[in-house]
Amino acid sequence: MKRLLSLSIAIISLSSVVMAQQNKVVSAWNYYKPEYDLLDKARTNIDEASVHESTMGKAKTWYYRGLIYQKIYKHPKYGNLDEMALEKAYESYKKALELEPNYENKDVIEQNLEILAGNFFARGLDEFNAKTFDRSLNSFQWVLKISPNDSKATLNSALCAERVGKTDIAKGYYASLVASKQADANVFLSLASILRKENNIDGALTTIIEGRKNFPDNNPLMIEQLNIYLSTGREKEASEFIDMAIQSDPSNASLYFAKGTLNDKQGKKDVAEAAYKKAIELNVKYFEAYYNLGAMHFNTAAEMVNKANDIPPNKIAEYEAAKKKFEAKFRDAVPYLEKALELSPNDVSTMESLKQIYTKLNQLDKASEMKKRIDAAK
């Protein structure tokens, strides 16, 4: 009889432990309710229940845990209770569905997961703006765990990964956007840039060409294609590409700008100038065309200054003749750069160029004014 009595006591004791853990689940739920809103106690009870063998295998335990941690996040009183609240909420909901794929509150869980995705995304943006890019990348990757096809989270993950030097990760995200037809022109450019840095020139060119199929009028893509041709010595392809593009779209100012850039780099100044002027004719507000045209004259003048400085000091007449020529060339640059500055009043590069020209032309009042604008813009 004594042995039977001992066994009965053990069974009663075990039953009491199980009941106690079940009560913790109920207590956690009650503390969670709005009328109590005691999330510190709710958290303590549900965490204990989630590691006890009698309750850790029940979907309800994990469902409640998800609700509690989700509510903790940014709670006015308990928001600092756990900095991993969002992550723990996500893991709890997933555990609930893992234990019971058809759990009675499955629809609520799925809705709450979408809310969590929004929370992670907002947190990622805050971290991005704070320039904590590693943390931001982590947040956006949590979004992708919930919504793998979220193009904004994918793009932001790529941008963060690039900023922290994780180019393989960035490349993967950019490539996935391209593959899923969710890439804008900048995605193609970024992916091509990474490939070029890896010395995968063919891959970069293929990416740019694919990008131009989607965005045929995108100027940066066209320029990048030209840059690849030029950097790899494919000037023939570059010339054929730009002339063929102009024939197919003769009213496209961007193509003339690209032609100007190409010939400018090749030292064909007359052809470049005509192309830039045609771009301006087609688009009177084309800042880049005005700037490049002014910069081309500026650079030519600077080369003339260098040559003039090599003239021996005793050859005064020869130097004065050279000076008149380079000053005239500087003056050629002025109207284009002034127009560029009119179109983009805060562009420091334009202001710097004009300040140097005004100084060379002894227009010191204008140079001083330009310096003030530069200081204000920085």
CA dihedral 367, 373, 376, 378 (to 10 degrees): -80
Q: Determine the pLDDT at residue 8.
A: 44
Write the pLDDT tens digit of every residue in 202-224.
Answer: 999 999 999 999 998 787 888 88
Average pLDDT over residues 176-203: 96
Count of other CB atoms within 10 angstroms of residue 251: 9
What are the residue ranges of helices labelled H in 234-377?
Answer: 235-248, 253-265, 269-282, 287-309, 316-343, 348-360, 364-377
User: CA 370 to CA 351: how far, in whole Å?
Assistant: 6
Q: What is the pLDDT of residues 44-76, one digit of tens each?
A: 999 999 998 888 999 999 999 999 999 999 999
Inter-residue contact 18 to 54 (CB < 8 Å): yes
Which own/partner contact pairs does 284-289 have at CB distance under 8 Å and 24+ positions apart? 285/343, 286/253, 286/257, 287/340, 287/343, 287/344, 287/347, 288/219, 288/257, 289/253, 289/256, 289/257, 289/260
Looking at residue 3, what is its pLDDT? 44
In angstroms, the first-to-last Cα distance of the chain is 93
- On the CB side of 298, CA atoms within 13 Å amount to 24
For residues 67 and 32, the answer to whether their CB atoms sit within 8 Å is: yes
> How much is the pTM?
0.68
Q: Going from the N-terminus, what domains does the chain have, and what CATH number goes with each?
A: 22-104 (1.25.40.10), 184-277 (1.25.40.10), 285-378 (1.25.40)
Separation of alpha carbons 262 and 151, rounded Å: 34
